[in-house]
Amino acid sequence: MAVPTFVDQVTLHISAGRGGNGVASVHREKFKPLGGPDGGNGGPGGSVILRVDPDVTTLIDYHHSPKRRAENGGQGAGDHKNGAHGSDLVLTVPDGTVVSTPKGTVLADMTGAGTEMVIAAGGRGGLGNAALASSKRKAPGFALLGEPGEELEIVLELKVVADIGLVGFPSAGKSSLIAAISRARPKIADYPFTTLVPNLGVVTAGDTTFTVADVPGLIEGASEGRGLGHDFLRHIERCAALVHVIDTATMEPGRNPVEDLDIIENELSRYGGLEDRPRLVALNKVDVPDGRDISDFVVDELRERGLRVFQISAMSTEGLRELTFAMAEIVQRARAEKEVVEAKRIILRPASADGNDTFTITDTQDGWRVRGEKPERWIRQTDFSNDEAVGFLSDRLNRLGVETRLLELGAQEGDTVIIGHEDNSVVFDFKPGIDAGAEMLGRRGEDQRFDHSRPAARRRRAIDEAMDERTETETRADVARRLDKPESYGPKSYTIGTAEDPDWAEDDPGK
Residues flagged as binding site for GTP: 168-175, 193-197, 214-217, 284-287, 313-315
Closest alpha carbon to 298 in 238, 246, 264, 257: 257
b/e burial code for range 488-510 (CB count within 10 A of at least 16 → b) = ebeeeeeebeeeebebbeeeeee
- Distance, CA of 174 to CA of 62 (rounded, Å): 29
Residue 218 CB partners (closer than 8 Å, separation 6+):
167, 168, 169, 170, 227, 229, 233, 264, 267
Binding residues: 168-175, 193-197, 214-217, 284-287, 313-315
The whole-angstrom distance between residue 498's C-alpha and the CA centroid of its chain comes to 51
Calpha distance 207→198 (Å, rounded): 26
Which residue from 98, 146, 92, 58 is spatially nearest to 381, judged by alpha carbons? Answer: 146
Question: Is-contact 210 131, C-beta < 8 A?
Answer: no
Return the biggest CA–CA distance within the chain.
125
Q: Determine the Cα–Cα distance for residues 44 and 124; give it in Å rounded to an integer.
A: 5
| Number of residues that make up the chain | 511
Instruction: Quote the distance between the C-alpha of residue 121 and its chain's center.
Output: 8
Side-by-side strand order, sheet with 48-52? 89-93, 48-52, 116-120, 345-347
- CA proximity to 197, closest of 222, 234, 163: 234
SS (HEC) of 408-453: HCCCCCCCEEEEEECCEEEEEECCCCCCCCCCCCCCCCCCHHHHHH
CA distance 274 to 260: 18
- Element (H or E) spanning 100, and its range? strand 97-100
- Asked if 216 contacts 192 with a C-beta cutoff of 8 angstroms, the reply is no
323 CB-near residues (< 8 Å, 6+ apart): 181, 243, 280, 282, 310, 312
Which of 492, 500, 503 lies closest to 457 in space, CA to CA? 503
Q: Which residues are annotated as a binding site for Mg(2+)?
A: 175, 195
Query: Residue 476: left if φ>0, alpha if ψ -120 to 50, beta else—which one?
Result: alpha
Query: Is residue 188 within 8 Å of residue 194, measured between CB atoms?
Result: yes
